[in-house]
Structure 1
Amino acid sequence: MNTLLDKLFRRHGKELLAFAERQSNVTIAEDITQEAFLRLMQHPNLTAIENHRAYLFKTAANLSKNAYDHEQVRLRYTPDEPVELEQLVCPLPAPETTVAIQQQLERFLSVLLQLPEVVQHAFILSKLDGLSYPEVAEALGISSKSAQRYVFKAWQHLIQHLGHDFLGDNLTR
């Protein structure tokens, strides 16, 4: 089998290299040529290939197209000017903001947990899950009026212990 590859390389190597240079560019043409022969060599049944030259040229053409596509993607997503690390913005909040939010959440939950369980659930279902009073009532097995009363009771308790400023507009919708 090595003699076949040697023979094919001597017969088609220069021609394939010239083809790869025309299809892509001189800097990667040798790599494409070597890769085409490598793929031919790795073929499970080399003698089953009817036209080795056609196989090599088709492989080189595909490799050239892949290299071109890769280069186009690289050019599309490479900025025109170098980007300084200081210019990159992290989409996550700053660590101190994360800690502050975590502390606020813990404070909110500790105050909410002071209420009876059914009042907690009514508030969570209504204000955090967005259920209507009849839906809260059905979920908890209570009347709609009780659901409304429990949510109001939770609001009073939270405002009394946390204040209006702490709760903000997010929960008052």
Structure 2
Amino acid sequence: MNNLLDILFRRHKKELLAFAERQSNVNIAEDITQEAFLRLMQHPNLAAIENHRAYLFKTAANLSKNAHEHEQIRSRYAPDEAIELEQLVCPLPALEFAIAAQQQIECFLAVLTQLPEVVQHAFILSKLDGLSYPEVAEALGISGKSAQRYVFKAWQHLIQHLGNDFLGDNLTR
């Protein structure tokens, strides 16, 4: 069987390659030719094929047609300009930044948990959840003045232990 494939390859490779170049892109003609021979080789009953040459050419024609259709679809949906890998930006922060952020959060929470629970909750509801003082007061069952005083107390404690730079603009809204 290998002897038959060897003979067929030597006999038909050049004309099959020329055919594939006419049918498709010159850049993929070699691949199409090789794939056609590979499919012939993988045929379950090689002896049952009456005309091996016709089988090879029909396979090459189908592969060329598929490649052409694939290229049309790709060009239709591909962007006009190729995107360079360097232009792609990962939406996730680098590992070092993620670790640093996690450490800052842990530090912030450690300092915040030094305060009484009601003060912690007032601060979180006001500065992290964005509730107004009356909404904080209602959520905690305290007066509006107490809600404001607790948030201020938490601020003072955080600034004292972490500093203004640590807290940044995100919480000062």
Determine if the TM-score, normalized by the shorter chain, exceeds 0.5. yes
Q: Does 1:32 align with 2:32?
A: yes
Aligned partner of 1:58: which letter? N
2:114 paired residue number: 114
- 8 A contact 1:33–1:60 mirrored in 2: no
Q: Could you tell me how far apart the structure 2 residues matched to 1:42 and 1:144 are?
A: 83
1:134-167 Cα offsets, whole Å, 9 max, x none, are 54445x4424614333222211222233333432
Any unmatched runs of 5+ in structure 2?
Answer: 49-53
Counterparts of 1:10 and 1:24, CA distance in 2: 23
**Mapping of residues 1-173 of structure 1, within 5 Å:** 14-22=14-22, 23-25=24-26, 28-39=28-39, 52=55, 53-63=57-67, 66=70, 76-77=82-83, 92=93, 95=96, 104-137=104-137, 140-143=139-142, 145=144, 146-173=146-173
1:169 alignment partner AA: D
Q: Is the 8 A contact 1:123 1:151 kept in 2?
A: yes
Q: SS where residue 147 of structure 1 aligns?
A: helix
Please, what TM-score do these two structures have when normalized by structure 2? 0.57
Percent identity, please: 66
1:57 shift after superposition: 0.5
TM-score, with length taken from structure 1: 0.57
Cα distance, 1:158–1:105 mapped onto 2, change above 3 Å: same
Q: Secondary structure at the match of 1:76?
A: coil
Contact 1:112 1:154 in 2 (8 A): yes
What letter is aligned with 1:122?
A
Change (3 A) 1:172 1:45: farther
